[in-house]
């Protein structure tokens, strides 16, 4: 849905809120209707349809409990179970907001809001609605409820457990370590945790540690002063300081060297960083989320990863389940991606032959969701008709090699054979693309960074 065509209803008993939102939204959407009295809500809804309803959690008659908001939410959903309702809640009421999400609200906004963030949430919601409508994805598809900008889908039991954990852990200050194979959604989970935390309106900064060489690690993370090394033309704020008051996501933490681990540990222990070329410590206030697909505990047993650093970063651990253990989610996600890529490529939304679903369900998906995403994208683009057949799905070279070797890969086992298959497949694919890493990574269904990591791992 184009932003400009949307109709929005705002229900709040605070005139200032209504005025501020009217001013903010009137140039952005087609129509903004405001209503001060929730008693009039149903009658307003019966007069015209709205794409999104913003609903206050607390009306004065029942200050602070959120119950009145929940009541009106239930009345709206009774009327239309697909209604999109975003709750407006006060800071410190996250647990009530979580109750609202469980009761069917799409998302929530915390007062006082940042206008930019408010519009972002509205935009993401409208976009999600239009994909849902056009892609024929079953409306039962569940997503981590407050995940405004990216849909995190999953109906399987492991995913429901994951959503539950995210809901529970997000509004705390716990450092979270996300574990799981490539492409299982660790980054998506990190964003979901941030978006549902008290720090949601504060910065969310990511750092891909695998992509940071020894030389730039400290300056990237801790910052530097002008002139502290040859290329330091200006002062630079590091990612820790940039994330201050918000969340820092350290991706691929299992890949850093022991000296880097020591530096990171010192910063986390002292809650301060010292930019290169400075001797003035900068205090940091971050919520840390880290992720890796490396077997961290095995590395620690071999003294390749510091146990004290693990204890610092893993107040809570969440393991993302591999796609092959997510039952029917493969079908759900395949339909979702088919809708997405068909729309993006100006094609009609395709159907699937039943045999196609069977084929997709039988594959082990070592590259998990990212791999499925690429496979569906290829199929949508290359399919002849409007029905996706089994032959439209050609699996990546890595998968074929794994299937041929009858491996069911898991990131925890690390048999020699699997390593060898991986190494020879990588070599073959790179050769086929005449050394073009971007193309090779795409065919392998992994990111360029992940491919570089593997090249390093195999000494290639």
Q: Least distance in Å: CB of 113 to ligand ATP?
A: 25
C-alpha–C-alpha distance, residues 285 and 139, integer Å = 40
Stretch that binds ligand ATP, among 17-25, 79-87, 149-157, 276-284 (CB under 6 A): 149-157
Measured from the CB atom, the residue of 96 and 182 that comes closer to ligand ATP is 182
In the shown chain, the binding pattern of residues 274 to 313 toward ligand ATP, with x for contact by CB under 6 A and - for none, equals -------------------x--------------------
Q: Least distance in Å: CB of 454 to ligand ATP?
A: 11
Interface residue with ligand ATP, options 8, 41, 188, 430 (CB under 6 A) = 188
Range 20-53 burial, b when 16+ CB lie within 10 A, else e:
bbeebbeeebeebbbbbebeebeebbeeeebbbb
In the shown chain, the binding pattern of residues 436 to 455 toward ligand ATP, with x for contact by CB under 6 A and - for none, equals -----------x--x-----
Stretch that binds ligand ATP, among 147-155, 199-207, 305-313, 429-437 (CB under 6 A): 147-155
In the shown chain, the binding pattern of residues 317 to 346 toward ligand ATP, with x for contact by CB under 6 A and - for none, equals ----------------x-------------
Give residue for tokens 């009345």.
75
Q: Least distance in Å: CB of 185 to ligand ATP?
A: 3
437 forms bridges with which residues in the sheet? none
C-alpha–C-alpha distance, residues 312 and 294, integer Å = 17
C-alpha–C-alpha distance, residues 343 and 377, integer Å = 11
Residues 373-377: contacts with CB within 8 Å, 24+ apart? 373/333, 373/337, 374/442, 374/445, 375/445, 376/334, 376/337, 376/338, 376/341, 377/337, 377/341
Pairing mode of beta strands 31-35, 52-56: unpaired
Q: Least distance in Å: CB of 124 to ligand ATP?
A: 13
Q: Least distance in Å: CB of 28 to ligand ATP?
A: 26
Measured from the CB atom, the residue of 59 and 365 that comes closer to ligand ATP is 365
C-alpha–C-alpha distance, residues 420 and 327, integer Å = 29
Stretch that binds ligand ATP, among 8-16, 150-158, 261-269, 296-304 (CB under 6 A): 150-158
Q: Least distance in Å: CB of 251 to ligand ATP?
A: 6
Measured from the CB atom, the residue of 143 and 199 that comes closer to ligand ATP is 143
In the shown chain, the binding pattern of residues 362 to 381 toward ligand ATP, with x for contact by CB under 6 A and - for none, equals -------xx--x--------
SS3 content of the chain, % helix, strand, coil (to 5): 50, 15, 35
Question: Which residues between 167 and 186 bind ligand ATP (CB under 6 A)?
Answer: 180, 182-186
Q: Which two tokens stand for residue 260?
A: 């880097």
Q: Least distance in Å: CB of 208 to ligand ATP?
A: 8
Q: Least distance in Å: CB of 343 to ligand ATP?
A: 15
Give the HSE-up count for residue 435: Cα atoms under 13 Å, Cβ half-sphere. 1
Site for ligand ATP contains 150 (CB under 6 A): yes
Overall size of the chain counted in residues: 460
Interface residue with ligand ATP, options 38, 69, 154, 321 (CB under 6 A) = 154
Question: What number of chain residues touch ligand ATP (CB under 6 A)?
Answer: 20
Measured from the CB atom, the residue of 94 and 334 that comes closer to ligand ATP is 334
Q: Which two tokens stand for residue 78?
A: 């009774």
Residues 262-265: contacts with CB within 8 Å, 24+ apart? 262/306, 263/217, 263/218, 263/221, 263/222, 264/221, 264/309, 265/306, 265/308, 265/309, 265/312
Which parts of this chain interact with ligand ATP (CB under 6 A)? 150-154, 180, 182-188, 293, 333, 369-370, 373, 447, 450
């Amino acid at each position: 849905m184009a932003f400009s065509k949307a109709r929005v209803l705002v229900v709040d008993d605070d005139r200032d809120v209504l005025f501020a939102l009217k001013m903010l939204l009137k140039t952005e959407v087609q129509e903004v209707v405001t209503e001060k009295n929730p008693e009039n809500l149903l009658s307003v809804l019966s007069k015209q349809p709205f794409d999104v309803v913003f609903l206050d959690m607390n009306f004065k008659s029942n200050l602070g409990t959120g119950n009145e908001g929940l009541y009106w939410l239930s009345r709206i959903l009774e009327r239309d179970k697909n209604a999109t309702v975003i709750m407006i809640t006060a800071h410190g009421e996250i647990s009530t907001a979580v109750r609202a999400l469980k009761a069917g609200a799409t998302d929530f906004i915390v007062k006082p809001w940042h206008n930019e963030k408010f519009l972002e949430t509205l935009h993401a919601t409208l976009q999600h609605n239009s994909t849902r409508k056009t892609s024929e994805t079953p409306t039962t598809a569940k997503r981590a409820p407050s995940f405004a900008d990216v849909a995190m889908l999953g109906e399987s039991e492991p995913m429901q457990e994951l959503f539950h954990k995210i809901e529970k852990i997000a509004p705390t200050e716990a450092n979270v370590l996300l574990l799981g194979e490539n492409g299982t959604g660790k980054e998506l989970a990190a964003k979901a945790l941030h978006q549902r935390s008290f720090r949601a309106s504060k910065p969310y900064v990511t750092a891909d540690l695998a992509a940071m060489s020894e030389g730039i690690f400290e300056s990237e993370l801790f910052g530097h002063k002008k002139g502290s090394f040859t290329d330091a033309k200006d002062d630079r704020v590091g990612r820790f300081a940039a994330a201050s008051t918000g969340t820092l996501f350290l991706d691929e933490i299992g890949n850093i060297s022991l000296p880097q681990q020591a530096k990171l540990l010192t910063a986390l222990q002292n809650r301060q960083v010292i930019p290169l070329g400075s001797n003035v410590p900068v205090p940091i206030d971050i919520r840390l989320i880290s992720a890796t697909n490396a077997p961290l505990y095995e590395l620690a047993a071999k003294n390749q990863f510091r146990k004290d650093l693990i204890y610092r970063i893993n107040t809570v651990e969440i393991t993302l389940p591999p796609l092959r253990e997510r039952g029917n989610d493969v079908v759900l996600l395949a339909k979702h991606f088919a809708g997405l890529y068909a729309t993006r490529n100006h094609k009609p939304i395709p159907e699937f032959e039943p045999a196609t679903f069977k084929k997709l369900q039988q594959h082990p998906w070592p590259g998990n969701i990212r791999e499925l995403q690429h496979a569906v994208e290829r199929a949508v683009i290359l399919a002849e008709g409007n029905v996706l057949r089994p032959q439209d799905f050609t699996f990546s070279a890595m998968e074929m090699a794994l299937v041929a070797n009858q491996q069911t890969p898991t990131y925890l086992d690390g048999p020699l054979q699997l390593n060898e298959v991986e190494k020879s497949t990588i070599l073959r694919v790179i050769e086929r693309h005449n050394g073009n890493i971007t193309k090779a990574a795409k065919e392998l269904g992994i990111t360029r960074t992940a491919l570089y990591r593997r090249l390093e791992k195999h000494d290639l």
